[in-house]
Each structure stands twice: as structure tokens, then as C-alpha cells.
Amino acid sequence: MTEHPKQPVLPGGVTLDHLAAGIVDGDRTSLARGITLVESTRSDHRRLAAELLQILLPRSGQAVRVGISGVPGVGKSTTIEQFGSNLTAQGHKVAVLAVDPSSSRSGGSILGDKTRMARLSLDENAYVRPSPSGGTLGGVAAKTRETMLLCEAAGFDVVIIETVGTGQSETAVADMVDVFVVLMLPGAGDDLQGIKKGIIERADIIAVNKSDGANERRAREAASDLQAALRILQPVSDGWTTPVLCISGLADIGLDTLWQTISDHRATLRETSGFEARRSAQQVSWMWTMIDDRLRGELRKTPQRRERLRQLEEAVRDGARAPSAAVEDMLQMIGL
């Protein structure tokens, strides 16, 4: 770490460089403090967080970034707990994060209840962090992304990002990982109920979960049907055909194959230079998402503006105001 000349002092009396050094040393208190800074909505904290991320930039980016999605009940937590534990047993350091924009409303996030990943939470080579709460999906996703960078700087070489199986959070997670895994239930067809349109096409790997005991045959049939359907519907142009695996998070079946498939996907992407291209495109796209979010923030700066915005949005929704006319109204409001 190079020492910066004029270091702002953080709450807690440390400088950014000290905090960064603590994170790189793998100190959990520093990591937690860094994450708190990243999750803060105060504008002075936001600037400090950006500076911290800039200092740590050369140390981040080294992890395998895995997104895991699937409808509620598909067994995401159980699978991640077992999968993560297997990886730490093999010497990996595993961070588990989440994107759940509903966590502020429901009062609890998908990973808020740590007992759901009791073993992994106690594992010294794992770090389980609940979804940041509050704000828009964009805000929640941005904080998770930045937390991922801090975890990488802290030496975690696998970052698993869980997403709730409903709504737009899947897209946000798919946009921040190297490989997007969709868990499904045995019995193709019925269980598609609840899966959002477009999610299956985003999958780099599909895993039919609960493929154990009496379910095994049904799971194999489901996997085979899915694989056949994907062969017909999926463009072959990008050098990777989404494989369909059978796993059981509960019975620890097929999780080694899952890890191997993730490695194969990575190798394939690297061969076609798809890996660097994906990462670069993600970086630029994060930047623009954050800019849009901040610029839109100008429109919401005062209670008066928020109220006017609400009215205009409602008028557009009801068809009373043309979208382009509402846009002119809004921009006039902020003097543009």
C-alpha cells in the first residue's frame, strides 16, 4: 500500500490506508468496517468508500464470482452451505453475499437469518454477509458489488452471490458474476412456475437440485428434457452450451461436478477472451448504472420534487401525460 499524503480520518480514528491494509491482511474487523462504509448512504462516506475501493482495486478481481439463483424452496441456502463448506475444506476462502431488494420491506433478508447457514457462518475460511437492506434494487446491487470487491481484497478467492428467485434481482446478479447458476427442481415443467421469463436464458449452468433418494430418477429425466430443450433453443455462437447437472445440496451429491463445471466455463471463456470482455463490460455497465442512479437522485432531492415526480409518473402510467411531455416537466423542475 502506498501512503497517501492527505488521508481523511474515518469514524473510528483510522485512515483509509490503514483500513485498506487491514482488509488486505484479512482482518475481519477491518473488512466489516469497510463494508459498513460501502453500505453507508451518507455522501461523505460515499466518497471515502470510492477512495477505499480505488486503493484496493489492484487487490480485487481475483475471485471466482458465482451467482446462484432459483425460486424460493429450491434449496439455495442448503446448497450454498454445503458447496461453500466443501470449498473451504479444499482450502478455498469463500464469501457469501446476497442481493435481496425486498429485505428492507420484509424486515429480514434471505441471508439475515444466519442460522440458515450456521456451519458456514462459523467457518473461519468463510464470510457470510446478509443482503444490504433498503433502497432501490440498483442501490442494493451496487453495495453488494462493492462488498464483493472488498472481500476479494481480503483474500476470498470464491465469492458466491445468492439472489431471491423472484423479480429483477436475478438480472442484477447475473450482471456482476462470472458464472450464473440457476437451481431448478426435479420434474420439468411444473416447477417452471415462478421462474421469471429470461432467467433460464441467462443461466451459464443449470443444476437440478434435490436429486437424491426417490427424486433421483425424476431429476435425471428433468435434466435430460431441459438439456434437449436448451440444445434446440440456445444460440451456439458463444462457444458454451449451458449444461444441466443433477445435484443435491442436502445430500452433497454432484457439488464437485458443479465446481468442475464452473472451472470449465471459466476456461472456455478465457480461451475465447470472453472472460476479460465480460468483466470489462460489467465494469463499464456498473459505472453507468451508478451514474444514472445518482443523476436520478437529483430529481428526488427534496420532498417537493419527489411529490411532483410521483404525480408525473402516475399521470404517465394512467395515460394522462405523454412520457416525453413528463420528461420535459421533470427536467424543467431541476433547471435543465
CA–CA distance, 82 with 137 (Å, rounded to integer): 28
Among 188, 219, 255, 269, binds a copy of itself (CB under 8 A): 188
Q: Does 321 bind a copy of itself (CB under 8 A)?
A: yes
Q: Minimal CA–CA distance to 113: which of 128, 93, 123, 127?
A: 128
144 with 131: CB under 8 angstroms?
A: yes
- Give least dist CB 10 to a copy of itself, A: 16
Count of residues touching a copy of itself (by CB under 8 A): 71
Among 4, 28, 42, 47, binds a copy of itself (CB under 8 A): 47
60 secondary structure, DSSP code: -
Q: Does 14 bind a copy of itself (CB under 8 A)?
A: no
Q: Does 197 bind a copy of itself (CB under 8 A)?
A: yes
- Give least dist CB 86 to a copy of itself, A: 29
Among 26, 72, 198, 213, binds a copy of itself (CB under 8 A): 198
- Give least dist CB 233 to a copy of itself, A: 5
Determine how many CB atoms are found less than 10 A away from the CB of residue 326: 18
Dmax over Cα atoms in the chain, in whole Å?
A: 66
- Partnered with residue 248 across adjacent β-strands are 253
Q: Is 18 exposed, middle or buried (0-12, 13-18, 19+ CB in 10 A)?
A: middle
Q: Does 232 bind a copy of itself (CB under 8 A)?
A: yes
Among 29, 229, 270, 306, binds a copy of itself (CB under 8 A): 229
By beta-carbon proximity to a copy of itself, the closer residue of 119 and 296 is 296
By beta-carbon proximity to a copy of itself, the closer residue of 107 and 335 is 335
Determine how many CB atoms are found less than 10 A away from the CB of residue 329: 15
Q: Does 250 bind a copy of itself (CB under 8 A)?
A: no
Among 194, 257, 275, 308, binds a copy of itself (CB under 8 A): 194
CA distances (Å), origin 113, targets 63, 103, 168, 315: 25, 11, 22, 40
By beta-carbon proximity to a copy of itself, the closer residue of 107 and 189 is 189
Residues 53-72: x where in contact with a copy of itself by CB under 8 A, - otherwise, as a string: xx-xx---x-----------
CA–CA distance, 46 with 49 (Å, rounded to integer): 5
Q: Does 240 bind a copy of itself (CB under 8 A)?
A: no
Q: Does 21 bind a copy of itself (CB under 8 A)?
A: no
Q: Which three cell numbers mark 322?
A: 405523454
- Partnered with residue 99 across adjacent β-strands are 163
Q: Which three cell numbers mark 13?
A: 480514528
Torsion region of 302: left, alpha or beta (phi above 0 gives left; psi -120 to 50 gives alpha)? beta
Among 49, 66, 95, 219, binds a copy of itself (CB under 8 A): 49
Among 298, 300, 307, 310, binds a copy of itself (CB under 8 A): 298
- Give least dist CB 34 to a copy of itself, A: 13
CA–CA distance, 66 with 64 (Å, rounded to integer): 6
Q: Does 74 bind a copy of itself (CB under 8 A)?
A: no
- Give least dist CB 264 to a copy of itself, A: 19
The answer for residues whose C-beta is within 8 angstroms of residue 134's C-beta and 6 or more apart is 41, 104, 140
By beta-carbon proximity to a copy of itself, the closer residue of 213 and 239 is 239
By beta-carbon proximity to a copy of itself, the closer residue of 56 and 161 is 56
CA–CA distance, 64 with 285 (Å, rounded to integer): 19
Q: Nearest 5°: phi and psi at 210?
A: 65, 30
